Amino acid sequence: MKNIRMKVARIERDMKQEDLAQLVGVTRQTIGLIEAGKYNPSLKLCIAICHALGKTLDELFWEETP
């Protein structure tokens, strides 16, 4: 499922996918695919993205429904 929260948080910070990618040390494609919901990212990467965007795991990646 698409991660719209992550995309919104990124745009709030006026970042391109590539900006975020460089900040967290991955490729632009990886960021795009995570936003598109086509990747199941690693915990470390999730945490790095959160720090880069000033959010927490729950704010960007939590899902209530089991």
Contact residues: a second copy, CB under 8 A = 40-44, 46-48, 50-51, 56-58, 61-63, 66
Among 8, 23, 33, 47, binds DNA (CB under 7 A): 33
Contact status: 51 vs DNA (CB under 7 A): no
Residue 21, CB half-sphere, CA atoms under 13 Å: how many? 13
Q: Give the span between the Cα atoms of 61 and 51, in whole angstroms.
A: 13
Single-letter residue type at 50:
C
Q: Enumerate binding residues for DNA (CB under 7 A).
A: 16-18, 25-30, 32-36, 39-42, 45
